[in-house]
Amino acid sequence: MSGKNEELPEAANQKELEDKLKDLLGPTADEAPSSLTGEPAKVDVPEPSGPPLVGDQAETSKAVDEKTEPELPVEPTKTDNEEASEDMQTEDAVDDIVEKEGDTVLAAEDKELEKAFTPDKPGFIAKCKRFLRNWWNNKRARYITLAALAAAVMAFAIIPVTRYFFLNTVGVRGSTSVTVLDDSTQLPLKNVTVSVGGQQGLTNQDGQVTLTSVKLGTSNLVIQKRAFATYQTKTTIGWGSNPLGNVALKATGSQYVFIVKDYLSGQPIEKAEASSGEADAVSDKNGKITLTVDSSDNASDDVKISAQTYRDETVKLGADTKTEQTVSMVPARKDVFISKRSGKFDLYKVDIDGKNEQLVLAGTGNEQQDTMVLVSHPTDEVVAYASTRENSRNSDGFLLTTLDLVSLTDNSVKKVAQSERIQILGWIGDNLIYVKVAAGASAANPKRQRLISYDYKSGIEHELASSNYFNDVALVGDSVYYAPSSAYQTGTPGFYKTDASGATKQTIINQEVSNILRTAYDTLTISVGNDWYEYKIGANNKPTKLSGAPADITNRIYINSPDKSHSLWVDNRDGKGVLISYDAVGKTDKTLRTQAGLNNPLRWLNDSTAIFRIHTDQETADYAININGGDAKKIEDVTNTSGIDQWYYY
């Protein structure tokens, strides 16, 4: 309360005193009401001045005064006893008011005095600080408290129930993993349902499943798959990964056995998968699959056998569960070839066992056999096809070659380029590398030939180099080596290396190179005028000058497998072609096939299966072979066309 508010009781007492006096004494002269207005009348009686009036003057003055002064009411005359009584009442009222006012003032002063000597109540933080200070200063209390806390922590850590309850309450979760196997084969089971701690998942092809956000503590682990006995046990999930190891399920259904082999080599195929409805199983290292089917299922259901890079096969479940069925599998990718069986040069595709042959692109009758080139993508179902099928000509009437990309998936065709001549060098990943002669360019044009890289997925084209003509070009692994001629050039030609984007161009020799010969898997032999150099393929290597011309200047065309672990090349020995597989890891050659007429083009279907061509007077046909063994098998008679071959001059 402010000082103003504290004075209010005193003012009230004063007003009460005045009111009582007014009741006893009546209104003051100033407050007497006017006869006309009712307001207090003010009567001024002037004091006489000057010499006293005498005689007639006095009488006259008295008469005037009597006329002008109003008559006032005459107050009744009070006796002495009445006046004494009124004086006593007034004194009593004054004493009563003074006493009350004094009591009020004294009470206010006592309150202020008490407040001055009473300390402020401490706040919550102050109380906490005071408590902690007192607790810390009390050694006994401090030790007892710390010991109690230590005991509580130990109890929390030792007793799983309390520990897991608290962790689960605050949202802590764990994870767990398990591998499910077939008890009869000890091979992984796919699509098995695993449940634990409120979470559920399916095993992958390796029989593994990882569950996250699992509640901590003891819970039921339940593993279920049709045609197998359910596995159920208690397990404790703690804070962390909680690997549960391997769990083997016992088969309760009917079991069928399949032996899966490669069509060419006869070698077992590991990790092939058999599936029928909800049942599935994988093959072991011997190619054996044991498929467990629920006894209530129809025994004549189809079973699909699949393996990576192989064509899917379909077999029937037999009534006899004890008889093994052998399944031969062929590569999923197809052989692509040209055939003139219809009278025109048609493009076909076919599986290597002769099945599923299909016309991809019908001939137009304008194709010239010596210009047709087929080069397949290393892994995708796309083939680069150069031909004169459009019958387009330049202003001089010269027939132009068209470069198309043909999809073997939907048989669609995309035109990439058209020029007087096109030579395909091969693929670096998704980039098709080729050289084209600029259509209509004069023979003296310094950029008449252009070295191009074309990304078939993005459609982006890069010009890697240009020249009036290239003395030689070679595609080696992921690099392009090229030697432009000095014809119509203003600068000094040289020997260069670049990648598919042209971003890592490197000069190897600052002299004109006439020939680039690949004399070994990791060696290029280079001719510079009358001198010869040996260049080891690799980064930042420098050529080494030889004392003379090499004994063997045969140029080898190496074709790498998709995983680049092996490379095929063809040699000629005693009038026969020899197909050789080079092991890039062991750095050794292995002869796969020796046959008259064996030659390029070569092509890989997967990491172990390849196609080669036999071209003689008796036959022109494509053959398939597996580098891991087995005999080569004929696929189909074809029309001879070029593939990746040696560089030729225009």
What pLDDT is recorded for position 394? 84
**CA distance to 36, 387, 434, 471, per residue, from 401 (Å):** 136, 5, 13, 21
Mean pLDDT of 73-95: 58
**Number of Cβ atoms within 10 Å of the Cβ of 392:** 14
Structure tokens at 108: 């206010």
Counting every residue, how long is the chain? Answer: 650
pLDDT at 34 over 50: no
CB 43 within 8 A of CB 30: no
Collapse the DSSP code of 18 into the 3-class scheme (helix H, G, I; strand E, B; otherwise coil) and give the result: helix
Beta pairing, strands 254-262 & 325-329: parallel
**Number of Cβ atoms within 10 Å of the Cβ of 399:** 14
What pLDDT is recorded for position 430? 97
Q: Do domains 169-249 and 254-329 have the same CATH topology?
A: yes
At residue 514 the predicted structure's pLDDT band, cuts being 50, 70 and 90, is very high
d(CA 156, CA 151): 8
pLDDT at 49 over 50: no
Mean pLDDT of 429-451: 88
What pLDDT is recorded for position 40? 45
- Comparing 53 with 325, which gets the higher pLDDT? 325
Q: What whole-number percentage of the chain has pLDDT above 90? A: 59
What pLDDT is recorded for position 494? 92
Least confident of 103-117, 159-173, 257-271, 323-337: 103-117
Least confident of 51-60, 357-366, 438-447: 51-60
Least confident of 103-117, 236-250, 309-323: 103-117
Question: If you count DSSP H runs as helices and E runs as strands, how many of each does the chain have, helices first?
Answer: 7, 41
| Residue in this structure with the two tokens 């000890």, named with its chain if needed | 186
Mean pLDDT of 70-75: 47
Least confident of 58-67, 300-309, 491-500, 624-633: 58-67
Write the single-letter amino acid at 369. Answer: Q
What pLDDT is recorded for position 520? 95
What pLDDT is recorded for position 60? 43
At residue 247 the predicted structure's pLDDT band, cuts being 50, 70 and 90, is very high
At residue 458 the predicted structure's pLDDT band, cuts being 50, 70 and 90, is very high
Q: What is the CA radius of gyration of the chain?
A: 57
Q: Where are the domains of the chain?
A: 1-26+81-114, 122-158, 169-249, 254-329
CB 404 within 8 A of CB 429: no
**Helix ranges, 293-419 (H):** none
pLDDT at 143 over 80: no
pLDDT at 419 over 50: yes
d(CA 490, CA 26): 137
What pLDDT is recorded for position 278? 87
CB 387 within 8 A of CB 371: yes
CB 310 within 8 A of CB 331: yes
* 609: Cβ contacts below 8 Å, ≥ 6 apart: 262, 264, 331, 352, 624, 625, 626, 627
112, 130, 132: which is closest to 121 by C-alpha? 130
* 416: Cβ contacts below 8 Å, ≥ 6 apart: 384, 403, 404, 405, 432, 454, 456
Structure tokens at 329: 């599998």
330, 327, 366, 318: which is closest to 346 by C-alpha? 366
Mean pLDDT of 6-33: 53
**Number of Cβ atoms within 10 Å of the Cβ of 278:** 12
- Comparing 90 with 283, which gets the higher pLDDT? 283
Mean pLDDT of 243-268: 94
Q: Does domain 254-329 have CATH number 2.60.40.1120?
A: yes
What does the mean pLDDT of the chain come to? Answer: 83
DSSP state of 503: T
Q: Is the peptide bond before 70 cis (omega within 30 degrees of 0)?
A: no
Q: What whole-number percentage of the chain has pLDDT above 70? A: 77
At residue 8 the predicted structure's pLDDT band, cuts being 50, 70 and 90, is very low
Q: What is the 3-state secondary structure (H, E, C) of 217-264?
A: EEEEEEEECCCECCEEEEEEECCCCCEEEEEEECECCEEEEEEEEECC
Phi and psi for 169 in degrees, rounded to 5?
A: -65, -40
* 83: Cβ contacts below 8 Å, ≥ 6 apart: none
**Number of Cβ atoms within 10 Å of the Cβ of 192:** 27
At residue 492 the predicted structure's pLDDT band, cuts being 50, 70 and 90, is confident
Q: Which residues pair with 435 in a beta bridge?
A: 423, 451
Mean pLDDT of 184-194: 92
d(CA 134, CA 170): 33
169-249: which CATH number, 2.60.40.10, 3.20.20.100, 3.90.870.10, 3.30.530.20? Answer: 2.60.40.10
pLDDT at 395 over 70: yes
Collapse the DSSP code of 405 into the 3-class scheme (helix H, G, I; strand E, B; otherwise coil) and give the result: strand
E-strand stretches of 399-520: 401-407, 413-419, 422-428, 431-437, 449-455, 461-467, 470-476, 479-484, 495-498, 506-509, 515-520
What pLDDT is recorded for position 105? 63
Structure tokens at 390: 């459009």
pLDDT at 576 over 50: yes
Mean pLDDT of 223-249: 91
What pLDDT is recorded for position 68? 44
d(CA 228, CA 252): 5
**Number of Cβ atoms within 10 Å of the Cβ of 558:** 21
Least confident of 68-82, 436-450, 571-585, 628-642: 68-82
d(CA 455, CA 432): 6
pLDDT at 1 over 50: no
pLDDT in tens, 579-599: 999 999 999 999 999 999 999
